[in-house]
């Protein structure tokens, strides 16, 4: 079936070296392309009315697994095969060589990864993240994870991480995004794993029944359940407190508190806050370096308007003859000029990719083309 694209306008401005073209992709979605030969820049901006009931936001992990990579186009194709109508997608968080994303991530209400502190070597706290709830309300903040395990005797213990390498003397949860089995650790820790299957959800409290227990490493993770993994002193303690058939409660929290987070994805750093250019106010915000901030690179970013109705996907091509890229200061200024009230920098460089109606509309800078990345953000028409 052919997609219908309505051209709103295409004009050469009074400055003959600047071409601006706007295209309506579908109801509530506008694509703006700027080719600025004066400044040697190619910019793509997608504006989405997120309050339309037929449009929704979805964060997607490559291959639905923590430690893998796909191109943004491959993620779009995979979702299309599952019956989704993907309007657009942009690459998102920074990631490790194996595809594990740096920051917290929630996809369609499920935690992909949750940590209290960022894995970034540049920021001792958590990197800024973009979030939306089940009504597509939009947020950008430094969300911090905390989790609680409530035992049958009423005692409450801290859950340190979800799908991330455990600390010594701690409790970690692993779900299907971790893969088929719990990660192999070379550390000589005493570990006890419990198989938990969900019974019900009461508000932010998840209720599970304990169906299995093992001290084996690399244990199978159930598709519909989770593994509660405890090591060292917590392993000995829970070995005494939890029996097969026990009911356990788990509460996941993120601070600042947002109810019913449906999508959560990381970036670095926040560029615009309440209409202010944060890079101008603090050139080392969130631990960014001059090489990363002040040199011109391809950029990807996400933001929203002051009324939180319009969502923006923005890419700037770079490292190419047609487009030199931007500094973070320039990128923040671009966001503000285009109407962004709160904006977040996403992974740029060779990762920068914007897909609209199955087509990559920007020019990725890698000579090999579109780069394999850890995750993306999609706009889905329902």
Which residue in this structure is represented by tokens 């019900």?
Answer: 200
pLDDT at residue 10 in the model:
43
Rounded distance between C-alpha atoms, residue 335 and residue 276, angstroms:
10
pLDDT tens, position by position, 210-265 = 999 998 878 899 989 999 999 999 999 999 999 999 999 999 999 999 999 999 99
Q: Give the strands of the sheet with 6-12, arranged side by side.
A: 6-12, 18-26, 29-36, 41-49, 310-316, 299-304, 342-346, 270-273, 276-277
Give Dmax (Cα) for the chain. Answer: 77
Q: How far is CA 17 from CA 42, 299, 324, in A?
A: 12, 22, 15
Rounded distance between C-alpha atoms, residue 239 and residue 233, angstroms:
10
Class for domain 145-255, per CATH? mainly beta
pLDDT at residue 280 in the model:
97
- Residue extent(s) of CATH 2.60.120 domains in the chain: 145-255
pLDDT at residue 186 in the model:
66
Among 4, 17, 207, CA closest to 87: 4
- Under-70 pLDDT residues of the chain: 1-16, 186
Does the model's pTM come out above 0.85?
yes
Instruction: Give the DSSP letter string of 112-163.
Output: EEB-SS-S-TT-SSPPPEEEEETT--EEEE--EEEEEEE-TTS-EEEE-EES
Rounded distance between C-alpha atoms, residue 90 and residue 101, angstroms:
15
pLDDT at residue 226 in the model:
97
- Residues 18-42, buried b or exposed e (16+ Cβ, 10 A)? ebbebbebbebbbbbbbbbeeebbb
* 366 Cβ neighbours under 8 A, 6+ residues apart: 350
What letter would DSSP give residue 316? E
Cβ burial, residue 77 (10 Å; 0-12/13-18/19+): middle
Among 32, 13, 10, 114, CA closest to 335: 32
Query: Which stretches of 250-348 are DSSP H helices?
Result: 278-281, 290-294, 328-338
């Amino acid at each position: 079936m052919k997609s219908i694209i309505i051209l709103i306008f295409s004009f050469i401005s009074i400055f003959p070296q600047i071409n601006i073209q706007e295209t309506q992709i579908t109801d509530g979605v506008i694509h703006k392309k700027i080719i600025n030969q004066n400044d040697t820049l190619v910019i793509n901006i997608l504006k989405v009315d997120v309050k339309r009931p037929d449009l929704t936001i979805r964060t997607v992990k490559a291959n639905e697994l923590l430690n893998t990579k796909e191109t943004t186009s491959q993620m779009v194709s995979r979702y299309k095969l599952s019956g989704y109508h993907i309007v657009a997608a942009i690459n998102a968080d920074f990631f490790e060589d194996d595809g594990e994303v740096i920051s917290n991530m929630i996809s369609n209400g499920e935690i992909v990864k949750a940590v209290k502190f960022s894995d970034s070597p540049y920021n001792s706290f958590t990197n800024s993240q973009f979030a939306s709830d089940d009504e597509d309300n939009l947020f950008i903040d430094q969300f911090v994870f905390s989790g609680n395990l409530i035992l049958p005797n009423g005692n409450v213990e801290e859950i340190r991480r979800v799908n991330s390498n455990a600390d010594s003397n701690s409790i970690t949860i692993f779900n299907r995004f971790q893969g088929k089995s719990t990660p192999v650790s070379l550390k000589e820790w005493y570990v006890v794993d419990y198989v938990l299957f969900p019974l019900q959800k009461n508000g932010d409290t998840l209720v599970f029944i304990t169906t299995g227990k093992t001290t084996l490493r690399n244990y199978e993770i159930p598709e519909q359940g989770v593994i509660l993994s405890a090591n060292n002193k917590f392993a000995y303690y829970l070995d005494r407190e939890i029996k097969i058939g026990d009911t356990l409660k788990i509460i996941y929290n993120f601070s600042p508190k947002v109810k019913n987070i449906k999508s959560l994805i990381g970036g670095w750093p926040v560029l615009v806050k309440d209409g202010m250019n944060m890079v101008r106010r603090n050139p080392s915000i969130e631990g960014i370096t001059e090489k990363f901030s002040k040199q011109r690179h391809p950029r990807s970013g996400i933001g929203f308007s002051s009324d939180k109705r319009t969502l923006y996907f923005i890419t700037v091509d770079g490292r190419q003859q047609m487009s030199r890229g931007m500094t973070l200061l320039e990128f923040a200024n671009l966001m503000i000029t285009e109407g962004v009230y709160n904006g977040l920098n996403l992974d740029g460089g060779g990762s920068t990719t914007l897909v609209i109606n199955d087509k990559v509309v920007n020019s990725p800078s890698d000579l090999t083309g579109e780069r394999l990345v850890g995750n993306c953000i999609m706009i889905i028409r329902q």
